[in-house]
Amino acid sequence: MLDKSTVSVSKLDVFYKNRHVGTLAETPEKLTAFQYAPSWLNDGFSISPLSLPLRNDVFVANPEPLMGLFGVFDDSLPDGWGRLLVDRMLTSHGIDPYEVGALGRLAIVGSNGSGALEYRPAIDTPLESTIENLDEIAAECATVLASHESQNLDALFAMGGSSGGARPKVFYMIDGEEWIVKFPSSLDPEDIGQTEYELALAAAECGIEMPQVRLLPSQQCSGYFATKRFDRITTPDGAVRKIHMASAAALLETSHRIPNLDYDILMRLTLKLTGSTSEVEKMFRLMCFNVLCGNRDDHSKNFTFLYRESDGWALSPAYDLTQNPGMNGEHATTVNGRGRDIEDQDMLAVAERTGISKRKAKEIVERVKAALCRHEKTQYMRLLASGKVIS
């Protein structure tokens, strides 16, 4: 049973594949301290190499910009849609959401978060009920967004209460594997699912590594966008393996709400973390795609790195590629210092500083342009990106 005392949490243990990673504790200043467990220090890995190196220390997070939490744990918290569901769920139990701190919220996430980190002791929450029909889920999401009472809040919470990102979404099983299905927000056009699906196909043609995607049928709109989870792998015997992941925002201890990134930083982060020039090229290709198709919502939570014990860090497949005019028409992440009117030479300048040869960089830019030209909708987006269409 949820009540005020259950969600008041001052100490929490972090687990990865049932191994104790470390302990989180609230400091008197309401900041979060973290220490790796001795066993993890012996044979674990750094869960966030820049700010939480693998050493015996008590790390205390800065008060800003992540409200006293380290980014890698902040990544486990739902934001946007998921947070709204958690807050509604807390309110329905007579708990003031503003009184629930970061550790209480992580305990609510428990073992249901994105990535591989789990939090114990977890707080029991309604996780039993689900809705199968996607049109019904979409209708319930719209009801919740319109601030009306929903009879199915528990089901929505169970299916998407620990998801990241602003838009309504649910974790959904397809053919025994875990997927994410996205639904329109109140500001999105009705065909947003189809647009995201088409853009994902265009991105794959540009040579960008994409997760498997599908456009799931609907009686109400042109379809719902579904993406297979890259933080879950189902083994042939049906067991599910979780993959540790951290967003660029988490690794850099910044907030995706602050547009303070430049692709130079992302490229350097990629090189530092992966030590691989082909991973840097992957980031460069994604940058070119975002510029040329007009995806200006390229904030620091829309880039993620995966950690595999056998191979170390690598860039995740791409996600959240949408037509988005951005804040004031600017990219959230600047290219060669520019948020708009970005030209080929800006992209090539980024490549040059990051050690990608001019020949390779030009080849990538041309491949992305050629693939986008084959996609009718994205041609429009190129015009949008070049400022020739007023959005």
Ligand X SMILES: Nc1ncnc2c1ncn2[C@@H]1O[C@H](COP(=O)(O)OP(=O)(O)OP(=O)(O)O)[C@@H](O)[C@H]1O
Per CB under 6 A, contacts with ligand X among 214-243 are 227-231
The single residue among 49, 165, 223, 294 that binds ligand X, judged by CB under 6 A, is: 165
d(C-alpha 179, C-alpha 95), whole Å: 31
d(C-alpha 380, C-alpha 293), whole Å: 8
Binding of residue 323 to ligand X (CB under 6 A)? no
Nearest to 288 by CA among 349, 247, 230: 349
The single residue among 144, 319, 334, 348 that binds ligand X, judged by CB under 6 A, is: 319
Which residues contact residue 390 at a Cβ distance below 8 angstroms, ignoring those fewer than 6 apart?
none
- Each residue 28-67 as x (binds ligand X by CB under 6 A) or -, in order, gives ----------------------------------------
* Shortest Å distance, C-beta 370 to ligand X: 26
d(C-alpha 141, C-alpha 136), whole Å: 9
Per CB under 6 A, contacts with ligand X among 180-199 are 180
Binding of residue 75 to Mg ion (CB under 5 A)? no
Binding of residue 167 to ligand X (CB under 6 A)? yes
Binding of residue 140 to ligand X (CB under 6 A)? no
327: phi > 0 → left, psi -120 to 50 → alpha, else beta; which?
Answer: beta
The single residue among 75, 262, 298, 320 that binds Mg ion, judged by CB under 5 A, is: 320
d(C-alpha 292, C-alpha 268), whole Å: 22
Binding of residue 154 to Mg ion (CB under 5 A)? no
Phi (first) and psi of residue 283, to 5 degrees: -65, -40
Per CB under 5 A, contacts with Mg ion among 267-306 are 302
* Shortest Å distance, C-beta 114 to ligand X: 5
Residue type, 30: K
For ligand X, give the closer residue by CB, 51 or 304: 304
Q: How far is CA 154 from CA 40, 98, 234, in A?
A: 36, 20, 26
* Shortest Å distance, C-beta 299 to ligand X: 6
Interacting residues with Mg ion (CB under 5 A) = 165, 302, 320
